[in-house]
Structure 1
Amino acid sequence: MMNSILMGLDALLCILVVLAALDFLRSVHLFEHPILSLSFYLVALGAFGLLVELAKGYWVSPWAVIMHLGIVSYAWSRRRQIFQQDWRWNGAERRRS
């Protein structure tokens, strides 16, 4: 029972990590911040890989759940500073096409 709860919580946290990393990558230019972009690509790929492993039914470590919870809470608490610093996209390019 507890493992099922941890699997569900970890899957939800992995989805949030992937979405946060992809949203951040949308606003950062690769050539202006190469190390930052690479780190967020690695985070997105790692979280997606863990999500695939969860779908296959692998056992979830409580420490992995705590780590993902820490990443999500950090991104949530710093969302204003992260996205205001590099956010230059207002959607005008999408509306034109």
Structure 2
Amino acid sequence: MLRMLADGTRLRLMWLLVDGEHDVTALVAALGVARPAVSQHLGKLRLAGLVTVRREGRRALYTARGGHVRRLMTEVMHAASHRVAGIPEHD
């Protein structure tokens, strides 16, 4: 799982998906990354069990899989934020 998050694009994708469902078009617009690249990253995240997909007609809606993954992402992003801002770690 953590190896999948080492890629900047996948990390940003996951952070968007923590907040709820998004389709590929919305993710492409939010990230400014080419559609094929976003689709490829989503496929890898699905295989790793970090993302789920739900079909709504022809649209595929992606979201972070479950509470554990969402909490993992939240902790990763908070730790990175503290590190960048020079804020001391919590005990």
Provide the TM-score with structure 1 as the length reference: 0.30
More strand by share: 2
More helix by share: 1
The higher-RCO structure (CA 8 Å, 6+ apart) is 1
Q: Which has the larger radius of gyration?
A: 1
